[in-house]
């Protein structure tokens, strides 16, 4: 965009929680030629966070840097996506802090391609699954086991095994048994417990309308790789796998059975018409790989079932199996033969989405098609006419500025204080004189803060602590603020003209002569 019009400024002033709708509407009015458009700006956002916590990591108000891209073709949009990915990687490289780029679910925002950028941290609320041997790094929501990768068939690189888009609660009715309301004195939990054998582990969930109880079966243990041979680990349910086949699942309910029973009692007491309660039963794919498969109660409620095909047979199909076991550290990697997986907590700092025409089509954000491509030959002797205007291909990318500050501070802080990387520090170096060396400290400051006849080297961003405080107080303050490098003029300076250079992050404390000081500090800063 060559010029920001008043319409652009008005749009920015109205943006709050998320900007993709507003930006798409704006571009709808300004896009008039086949060219790339980008809207890049930082802004404050607000979310109804129920439990703000951990300082700036989870707040109701936060600063976000957003980038929205609009391209004419899918190919150009994917090129732009890769360009943004590279820019984000270069950006996070500058912090000199380990970070992870993971494949991720697009969630409610939509699209079929997205990546997240994380700092590993015990305070993180996301779980990443990483391979010890290859470049397999994914969010737990997309993680696969080796057995699932071997037996599931994906239709395309970005298409889920199950097609559930557009499915509503009423659509599940044809695959469900209606057990009816509980009889007098009848205990539903006893009825459910009687359905499973001794070798199965059970998990219960509930739908958002509290009318469907999810009953899942999975093994108590699964086999993992080990140097000593076969070993087994305890299993946990993978709630994301259940939610994939039943999008109405409410993962925020701690006592699904209690809520389910309470909803039925309330319905009976009020006498209001209500759909009959349902029980959704799902079994783990490992049972289906057994020959013969174990006998489970039927029918099971799954999106690919039908009323005229036995559920047991449909569940036995390799491309229709469900892996209900949550990935854990030590599991074999699905992407290579040598690696094992590690699950670690991480803080999400950035996210890139390829949205395609998810918003541009319904909001009519279109652009003039290239006249030279109005008629494209599909087969010899035939051609396909393209419309005069085509929907824009959209990308949405963002970095959480407020959260980034908190995550970096938390990652590098120690008992003495903050410890900023060079690119975020208020100053790269601080000069602290002891009593009697204040005048010479100004000369050391000039040595570092000026190019000194070497313009190519550039000045070092330096501050001189000339406050009327004692030396001990200044040192504690410098450690607390977190300057990357501290230069001290102490006894050795008065005697031998040597400064003490400290760098907590690199565990360095060294005496350096005045003539070598600048080069030494520059070498340290290159590592920070």
Backbone angles phi and psi of 148, in degrees to 5: -70, -40
Q: Domain check: are 438 and 468 in the same one?
A: yes
| DSSP, residue by residue, 172-199 | GGGG-----SPPTT--HHHHHHTTS-TT
- Say if residue 394 is in the same domain as residue 258: no
Cα–Cα distance between 335 and 165 in angstroms, integer?
27
Order of strands across the sheet with 278-283? 200-206, 212-219, 278-283
* 430 & 447 share domain: yes
Give domain status of residue 182, yes or no.
Answer: yes
From the list 126, 171, 501, the residue with the least C-alpha distance to 345 is 126
pLDDT recorded at residue 95: 95
Which pair of tokens denotes residue 457?
A: 């080297």
Give the chain's domain count: 3
Answer with the one of 266, 298, 326 that is the final residue of a domain. 326
Residue 299: what pLDDT?
Answer: 40
In a domain, 498, yes or no: yes
- What is the per-residue pLDDT across 220-251, written as a single tens digit (0 to 9) for each? 888 876 555 678 889 999 999 888 888 899 99
In a domain, 94, yes or no: yes
d(CA 279, CA 300): 9
pLDDT at 180 over 70: no
Task: Looking at the structure, tell me whether residues 314 and 348 fall in a common domain.
Answer: no
Q: Are residues 14 and 137 in the same domain?
A: yes
354, 379, 410: which is the final residue of a domain?
A: 410
| 500 and 431 in a common domain | yes
- Rounded to an integer, the average pLDDT of 100-106 is 92
- The Cβ of residue 520 has, within 10 Å, a number of other Cβ atoms equal to 17
Residue 149 domain-assigned (yes or no): no
Q: What is the pLDDT of residue 483?
A: 97
The whole-number average pLDDT for the span 78-107 is 94
The residue from 326, 358, 380 where one domain ends is 326
Question: Given CA atoms 165, 169, 174, 177 in this order, what sign does their dihedral have?
Answer: positive
Q: Do 392 and 507 lie in a common domain?
A: no
Q: Output 263 or 481, whichever has higher pLDDT.
A: 481
Confidence of residue 432 (pLDDT cuts 50, 70, 90): very high
Estimate the share of the chain in helix, then strand, then coil, as percent rounded to the nearest 5: 30, 25, 45
| Residue range of the domain that includes 228 | 156-326
Residue 496 has pLDDT above 80, yes or no: yes
Q: Do residues 398 and 444 both lie within one domain? A: no
pLDDT at 219 over 90: no
Are residues 104 and 164 part of one domain?
no
| 181 and 306 inside one domain | yes
Residue 151: inside a domain: no
For position 39, which CATH number holds?
Answer: 3.30.930.10
Exposed/middle/buried for residue 378 (C-beta within 10 Å: 0-12, 13-18, 19+): exposed
Task: Evaluate whether residue 251 is within a structural domain.
Answer: yes
Q: Which two tokens stand for residue 274?
A: 């209500």
Residue 148 lies in a domain: no
Q: Does residue 268 have a pLDDT over 50? A: yes
**What is the DSSP secondary-structure string of 125-166?**
SEEEEEESSS--EEEGGG---HHHHHH---SSTT--SS--TT
- Give me the pLDDT at residue 458, please: 81
Tell me what pLDDT residue 11 has: 41
Q: Which residues contact 505 (CB under 8 A, 6 or more apart)?
A: 412, 419, 484, 528
**185 in the same domain as 58:** no
Q: Are residues 289 and 193 in the same domain?
A: yes
Q: Which position has the higher pLDDT, 12 or 85?
A: 85
331 falls within a domain: no
């Amino acid at each position: 965009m060559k010029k920001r019009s008043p319409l652009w400024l008005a749009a920015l002033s109205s943006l709050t929680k998320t900007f993709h709708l507003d930006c798409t509407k704006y571009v709808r009015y300004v896009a008039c030629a086949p060219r790339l458009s980008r809207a890049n700006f930082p802004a404050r956002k607000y979310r109804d966070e129920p439990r703000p916590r951990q300082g700036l990591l989870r707040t109701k108000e936060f600063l976000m840097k957003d980038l929205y891209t609009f391209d004419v073709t899918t190919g150009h949009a994917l090129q732009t996506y890769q360009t943004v990915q590279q820019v984000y990687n270069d950006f996070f490289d500058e912090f000199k802090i380990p970070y992870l780029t993971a494949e991720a679910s697009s969630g409610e925002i939509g699209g079929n391609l997205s990546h997240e950028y994380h700092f590993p941290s015990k305070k993180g609320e996301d779980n990443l699954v990483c391979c010890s041997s290859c470049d397999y790094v994914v969010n737990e929501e997309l993680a696969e086991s080796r057995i699932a990768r071997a037996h599931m068939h994906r239709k395309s690189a970005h298409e889920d095994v199950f097609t559930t888009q557009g499915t509503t609660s009423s659509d599940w009715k044809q695959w469900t048994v209606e057990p009816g309301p509980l009889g007098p004195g009848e205990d539903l939990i006893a009825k459910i417990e009687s359905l499973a054998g001794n070798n199965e582990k059970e998990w219960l969930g509930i739908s958002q309308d509290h009318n469907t109880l999810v009953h899942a079966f999975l093994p108590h243990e699964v086999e993992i790789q080990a140097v000593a041979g076969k070993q087994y680990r305890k299993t946990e349910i993978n709630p994301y796998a259940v939610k994939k086949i039943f999008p109405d699942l409410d993962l925020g309910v701690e006592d699904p059975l209690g809520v389910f029973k309470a909803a039925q009692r309330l319905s009976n007491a009020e006498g209001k018409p209500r759909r009959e309660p349902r029980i959704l039963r799902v079994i783990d794919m490992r049972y289906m790989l057994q020959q013969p498969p174990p006998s489970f109660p039927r029918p099971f409620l799954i999106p690919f079932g039908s009323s005229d095909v036995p559920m047991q047979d449909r569940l036995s199909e390799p491309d229709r199996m469900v892996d209900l076991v949550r990935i854990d550290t030590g599991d074999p990697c699905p992407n290579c033969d040598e690696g094992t997986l590690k699950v670690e907590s991480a803080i999400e700092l950035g996210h890139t989405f390829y949205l395609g025409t998810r918003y541009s089509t319904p909001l009519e954000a279109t652009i003039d098609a290239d006249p030279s491509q109005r008629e494209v030959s599909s087969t010899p002797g035939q051609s396909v006419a393209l419309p005069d205007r085509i929907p824009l291909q959209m990308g949405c990318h963002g970095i959480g500025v407020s959260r980034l500050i908190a995550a970096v501070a938390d990652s590098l802080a120690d008992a003495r204080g903050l410890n900023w990387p060079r690119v975020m520090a208020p100053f790269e170096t601080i000069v602290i004189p002891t009593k009697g060396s204040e005048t010479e400290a100004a000369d050391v400051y000039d040595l570092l803060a000026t190019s000194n006849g070497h313009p190519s080297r550039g000045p070092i961003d330096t501050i001189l602590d000339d406050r009327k405080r004692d030396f001990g107080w200044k040192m504690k303050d410098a450690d607390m603020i977190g300057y990357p490098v501290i230069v001290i003029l102490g006894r050795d300076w008065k005697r031998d003209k040597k400064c003490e250079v400290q760098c907590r992050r690199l565990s360095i404390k060294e005496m350096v002569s005045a003539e070598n000081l600048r080069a030494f500090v520059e070498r340290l800063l290159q590592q920070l």
